[in-house]
Each structure stands twice: as C-alpha cells, then as structure tokens.
C-alpha cells in the first residue's frame, strides 16, 4: 500500500465584469496541480479551501459546507461544515476503490459538484460500488448473552465469527425485541483500524427509522489482515438497557 499523500481542493470565487459570480477550482497533489478528476488512494488526506477574490486581489475566506451524502462511505461521513471559511480539516479516504460525486455548498452564492476517484481504476464511471459478499449478523435480544449468528446473502444462520474481506458488506439486526426499541449500537475493540469499516470510528448506531438495524456497512480495512475485531452490542427495550456478551462475537479479516 502506498504512503498516504496530501491533496487540496481550492475554490476561488470572483465577480466578472457583468457582476456575475464565477469560480475556478484547482486540485493539488502534494502542492502540484492534478486534474481533471482527483485520484486518491486509501488513507490519503483531502482538504478544501474556499476564498472570494476581491477587486484588489485580496482573498477573503467564506463559509461553506461539503455534502458527501451521495456516497457516505468514501470519507466515512455524510458532510463537513466549515462555518468560519478558509481551510477545512483534512479528511482521510476510507474507501479503497470508488468514485465520489459530492457538492461544495457556499450559502447564498453557489453550489459546485466535483468528483474524486479512489483506487488506480474504479471501473465505475457512474459511481458504482465494489461487488462483495453481503453478510447479516443477528443478535437475539431475548437471549442477549448467547453467541450471535450470521448469514451469507440471506442464507441459513451460522455462528460467529464471520470472515470478511474488502468490498464485503455487513448489516446488524437486533431480533426478538418486543415493545419500544431504542439505542441499538455496536461497538468494536479496535486493531490498527477502529473497526473493519472505518479507521477512526468503532461505534455504529441504528438510524431513527430503522431502530433494530445497523448498516449496511462496507468493509474497507486493509491494515489488519488476519486480525479479529471483537464487538459488543447494546440496545434499550421498553426502557431497559440490554448488553451482549463480548465474545465470541467477532468479525475476522
């Protein structure tokens, strides 16, 4: 795996002679220009800088945000806000092979839609994802300390651990819960990465609309071959917190 590199996306806004707002966007790889589509690798760092060029050529930082919602797994987040303007924090690429179509939103001024490609050749001109194996992990919350089970592509349940590789996906389902369900969370004991899915995030929670399901989560870790990520699950049913046994619930790389 190559050493991580640094990239910068610079957006300069200006008004033309007719008073219309225009922009130029430049992408830099270790301070050298790169175009037309920025190409990065897993672990590379990407930052953004948005400035308004004034008539006297002074550059003024303006507030902006970045919308990654079309492909949240690329950076492991759906958005980044830079309310004070200027240089954003750097975002690590956590998707080994993919194409990100995202938006730079400058409130009251404009929205720009550049692309970023990860991997040497995604082969996905329309932003498709790597085809991998789909796994589902089941936790019987009525018997919470029992070992969890998993299935492959909707097949028969099997006992954990499950062996995964990059490009696979994992969904976690809490079963057996009757009544009001909330706070379904899976927390990993990290290795080099915090989880098989994200180098910095080892805790994943169910969305409000799907309180008994977490995922689909895409496996991206390439730093822990042969490693085993143990995890615990927690949930609240009818106001009562429930916790799983820590072992042998694990995802193996």
Phi/psi at 192 (nearest 5 deg)?
-65, -40
Torsional sign, CA 66, 71, 75, 79: positive
Structural domain includes residue 48: yes
Q: How much is the pLDDT for 121?
A: 41
CB 98 within 8 A of CB 122: yes
Write the CATH number for 151: 2.60.40.420
What's the rounded Cα separation, in Å, for the pair 144 and 137?
13
Residue indicated by tokens 């672990």:
43
Domain coverage including residue 142: 134-252
DSSP character at residue 70: G
Rg of the chain (C-alpha set): 21
Residue indicated by tokens 């950076």:
75
The verdict on 190 and 94 lying in the same domain is no
The verdict on 49 and 106 lying in the same domain is yes
CA distances to 58, 107, 113, 217, 235 from 102, rounded to whole Å, are 28, 16, 6, 20, 33
Write the CATH number for 16: 2.60.40
Q: How much is the pLDDT for 125?
A: 29
What's the rounded Cα separation, in Å, for the pair 197 and 191?
12
Q: How much is the pLDDT for 210?
A: 83
pLDDT tens digits in sequence order for the chain, 253 residues long: 456 677 888 888 887 777 777 888 877 765 444 455 677 777 888 889 888 887 766 788 889 999 988 888 888 888 999 998 888 988 888 876 677 888 898 887 778 887 777 665 433 322 222 345 778 899 999 999 888 999 986 678 999 999 998 767 788 999 988 889 999 999 999 889 899 988 888 999 988 778 998 877 778 787 888 999 999 999 999 999 999 987 679 999 8
The verdict on 151 and 79 lying in the same domain is no
The verdict on 36 and 99 lying in the same domain is yes
The verdict on 71 and 179 lying in the same domain is no
Which pTM value belongs to this model?
0.52
Overall number of domains in the chain = 2
The verdict on 95 and 147 lying in the same domain is no
């Amino acid at each position: 795996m190559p050493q991580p590199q640094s990239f910068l996306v610079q957006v300069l806004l200006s008004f033309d002679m007719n008073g219309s707002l225009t922009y130029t966007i430049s992408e830099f790889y270790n301070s050298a220009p790169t175009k037309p589509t920025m190409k990065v690798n897993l672990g590379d760092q990407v930052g953004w800088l948005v400035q308004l060029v004034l008539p006297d050529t002074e550059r003024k930082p303006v507030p902006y945000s970045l919308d990654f919602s079309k492909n949240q797994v690329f950076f492991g987040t759906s958005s980044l806000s830079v309310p004070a303007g200027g240089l954003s924090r750097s975002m690590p690429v956590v998707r080994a092979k993919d194409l990100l179509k995202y938006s730079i939103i400058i409130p009251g001024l404009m929205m720009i839609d550049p692309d970023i490609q990860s991997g040497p050749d995604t082969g996905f001109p329309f932003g498709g994802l790597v085809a991998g194996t789909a796994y589902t992990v089941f936790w019987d919350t009525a018997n919470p300390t029992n070992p969890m089970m998993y299935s492959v592509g909707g097949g028969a349940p099997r006992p954990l651990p499950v062996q995964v590789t990059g490009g696979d996906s994992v969904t976690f389902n809490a079963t057996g819960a009757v009544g009001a369900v909330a706070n379904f969370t899976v927390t990993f004991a990290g290795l080099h990465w915090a989880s098989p899915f994200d180098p910095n995030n080892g805790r994943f929670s169910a969305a409000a609309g799907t309180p008994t399901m977490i995922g689909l989560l895409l496996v991206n870790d390439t730093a822990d071959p042969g490693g085993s990520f143990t995890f615990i699950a927690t949930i609240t049913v009818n106001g009562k917190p429930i916790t799983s046994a820590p072992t042998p619930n694990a995802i193996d790389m």
